[in-house]
């Protein structure tokens, strides 16, 4: 039982987390999925391969991202995010 738990933790530590963006929320896929509404976010910026999410409760999340599969540039993503933030 302990070995299965440790194997799960090792798998999760080696696996890159995924962050998805939708019209009404952000989804962070780690060991447990976390759904964050745009109302909880103060600012989101993608620059030089780093995603920064600034929460209204003064929490900050920074992740290095692999933009190789992305069809959008940093500027396009940041423009889309700013439109989302204006709608909150």
Look at the block and give the residue holding tokens 């509404």: 37
Could you tell me the residue ranges of all domains in the chain? Answer: 2-87
**Fold of the CATH domain 2-87:** PH-domain like (2.30.29)
Q: In this predicted model, what pLDDT tens digit does every residue of 46-80 receive, in sequence order? A: 998 899 999 999 999 998 887 666 666 888 888 88
Look at the block and give the residue holding tokens 């989804």: 27
Which phi and psi angles does 28 have, rounded to 5°?
A: -110, 120
Q: How far is residue 87's CA from residue 11's CA, in Å, rounded to a whole number? A: 38
- The pTM is what? 0.75
CA-based nearest residue to 57, from 43, 71, 46? 43
């Amino acid at each position: 039982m302990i070995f299965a738990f440790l194997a799960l933790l090792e798998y999760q530590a080696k696996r890159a987390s995924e962050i998805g963006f939708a019209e009404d929320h952000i989804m962070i896929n780690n060991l447990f999925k976390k759904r964050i509404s745009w109302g909880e976010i103060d600012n989101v910026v993608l620059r030089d391969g780093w995603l920064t999410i600034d929460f209204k409760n003064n929490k900050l999340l920074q992740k290095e991202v692999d933009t190789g599969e992305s069809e959008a540039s940093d500027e396009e993503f940041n423009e889309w995010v700013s439109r989302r933030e204006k709608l909150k």
